[in-house]
């Protein structure tokens, strides 16, 4: 069961009203398919979240959401994305994209995520 405060939050979404970075990441990761499975089954859902990232995010968000149940929900994944980025200090759209792509050490491997960030940025710009 989802605590009331989080049920209300799910209706309004994360505090960051700019959904464009998350939406672009979903397009890059899964082509917008909420039921996509990748990385040999290790990544699932619209943002292609793995279990370790999910665990990091739910610990940060203070919820106990079952990965196998909620990874297919775009709204839950949006929260996971935001909490994961908060946990690892990613604030801007660029930082969030790089963090999501490369994990907690995203700052050390910045160049490695250049192509990923370009794809996300291009999609964000295309919808503006």
For each of the chain's 128 residues, which pLDDT tens digit applies?
A: 444 444 444 444 454 446 799 999 999 999 999 999 999 999 999 999 999 999 999 999 999 999 999 999 999 999 999 999 999 999 999 999 999 999 998 988 888 899 999 999 999 998 77
The Cα 91–Cα 51 span in angstroms is 22
Q: Which residue ranges make up each domain of the chain?
A: 21-126
Fold of 21-126: Lysozyme (1.10.530)
37: CB partners within 8 A, 6+ apart: 43, 44
Q: What is the dihedral of CA 81, 73, 117, 89, to 10 degrees?
A: 0
* DSSP annotation string for 57-109: HHHHHT----HHHHTT-HHHHHHHHHHHHHHTT--SHHHHHHHHHHGGGTTTT
Taking the model in full, what pTM does it have?
0.84
């Amino acid at each position: 069961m989802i605590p009331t405060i989080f049920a209300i939050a799910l209706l309004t979404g994360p505090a960051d009203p700019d959904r464009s970075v998350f939406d672009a990441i979903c397009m890059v990761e899964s082509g917008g398919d909420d039921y996509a499975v990748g990385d040999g089954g290790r990544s699932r859902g619209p943002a292609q979240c793995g279990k370790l990232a999910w665990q990091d995010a739910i610990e940060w968000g203070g919820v106990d959401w079952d990965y196998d149940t909620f990874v297919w929900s775009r709204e839950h994944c949006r929260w996971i994305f935001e909490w994961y980025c908060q946990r690892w200090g990613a604030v801007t759209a660029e930082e969030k994209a790089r963090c999501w792509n490369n994990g907690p050490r995203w700052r050390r491997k910045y160049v490695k995520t250049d192509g990923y960030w370009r794809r996300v940025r291009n999609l964000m710009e295309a919808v503006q």
